[in-house]
Amino acid sequence: MSSYMQYQPEWVREDFVDFIAEKINPIWAWKKVKASVVKTRALSSDFYQIQLRPNRNFNHQQFQAGQSILVTVDVEGVRQQRSYSIVKLLSNGDIIIAVKQQGKVSNVITQMAFGRIVELSQTQGEFVLVNAKEPMLLIASGSGITAIYALLQQALADGSLSQSSQNIDLIYFTRDDAFHTDIELLAQQYPQFQYHHINTTQQKQHLTTELLAHLVPDFQQRQSYACGASSMMQSLNQLYTDLDITAKLKQEYFQVVVDESLEAQPVTFLRSQQEFEAKTNLLESAEQVGLRPTHGCRMGMCNTCTCTKVSGSTKNILTGEINHDANTQIKLCISQAISPVVINL
């Protein structure tokens, strides 16, 4: 059969439907998830809780505590997006996220007035509870508390439903005490939950084996979940590696830090016939020379920037794992070149 006989025209274009729909109601769309800003609550001077009301395209049933969404906004005429952990889904379908003012996207979102429209992804990420019935240790610092707080709420709810009395401990390193009052109320409500609050402006306490053993004596036997600043996460990973208990640790990063000691390496995008020097992660290095690879969260969670490494060696910035294999999948946002690299883009 000839090719023209196989062609089936697209009689109704999604972008045309969305254009007409948003003239009637700005939140309407055929397939896209749009949401309006319902309420903003200050958690600290630069940390805000934002309530979003999505349209009917958002799949609430897909959500698991600890997951995130990509929020897309216009910043100076350019569509930009960033990933935010979902703090809670309300019974009416509204989404609660927490946003720290630390970048262009975050600054725009925290200043949005009631009724402003943003675009959302569906929920994503694998930072979810493994088994809510076993004893667990939660560790958070800074804005990492958003994902950890979501896990805590789910674990306590699951425990109540199953009448389980498993022990749950949360160690929270914080400067601004975001969610501190809410967590204290949970500690008063659930006797199996122990809360260890460490305000780092008042006590210069770092994460150590001694601290963990003091606060949670059986921490080596517990399933642990951690999310926080890169310095804390690096200390935690080294600690669990030294104790040979990394299998007990599940973690989420919200900040990607490259190895500054590594030399810049030549990178070739094969299909687009582009070459550039990469000093930071491959996504940022490509953007610095004007390339625009498809991407999403920029933190290794959404898989949007996954592509094929044809040859060369890369380092996973989050785990430290070195990948020498040819024709293997990597994520640009969390990969740093440690040799000349060829990518099928």
* pLDDT at res. 87: 95
Q: In terms of DSSP H, where are the helices of the chain? A: 3-6, 14-24, 104-110, 145-161, 180-189, 209-215, 230-242, 282-288
Site of tokens 């009689």: 11
Question: Confidence class of residue 59 from pLDDT cuts 50, 70 and 90?
Answer: very high
Which region among 19-23, 59-63, 86-90 has the lowest average model confidence (pLDDT)? 19-23
> What is the mean predicted confidence (pLDDT) over 296-323?
84
Whether 53 shows a pLDDT value over 70: the answer reads: yes
DSSP assignment string, 124-158? B-S---S-TTS-EEEEEEGGGHHHHHHHHHHHHHH
**pLDDT at residue 251 greater than cutoff 60:** yes
Q: Please state, in angstroms and rounded to a whole number, the distance separating the CA atoms of residues 69 and 120.
A: 7
Which pair of tokens denotes residue 204? Answer: 């210069």
Element housing 95 (H / E): strand 95-100
Handedness of CA 23, 28, 29, 34 (dihedral sign): positive
In this predicted structure, what is the pLDDT of residue 3? 45
Portion of the chain with pLDDT greater than 70, in percent: 91
Rounded-to-integer distance, Cα 177 and Cα 180, Å: 5
**Residues 6+ positions from 154 with CB-CB distance below 8 Å:** 64, 65, 66, 129, 132
Residue 100 CA to residue 46 CA, distance in Å, equals 6
Q: Please, which pLDDT band fits residue 308 given cuts at 50, 70 and 90? A: very high
Q: Does residue 51 surpass a pLDDT of 90?
A: yes
Q: What average pLDDT does this structure show over 130-156?
A: 91
Confidence band, pLDDT 50/70/90 cuts, at residue 85: very high
Nearest in space to 88 (alpha carbons), one of 148, 173, 172: 148
Confidence (pLDDT) at 163? 55
Mean pLDDT, residues 311-337 = 88
156-208 pLDDT tens trace = 988 765 555 679 999 999 998 899 999 999 999 999 999 999 998 888 888 99
What's the rounded Cα separation, in Å, for the pair 259 and 257? 7
pLDDT of residue 88: 94
* Higher per-residue confidence, 219 vs 101: 219
How many alpha carbons lie under 13 Å from residue 269 in its C-beta half-sphere? 21
Among 150, 137, 123, CA closest to 65: 150
Environment class of residue 113 by beta-carbon count within 10 Å: exposed (0-12), middle (13-18) or buried (19+)?
Answer: exposed
- The confidence score (pLDDT) of residue 255 equals 61
Calculate mean pLDDT across residues 317-334: 86
295 to 4, 126, 291, 306, 332: CA distances (angstroms): 34, 18, 12, 8, 8
At 296 the pLDDT is 75
DSSP single-letter state for residue 217: T
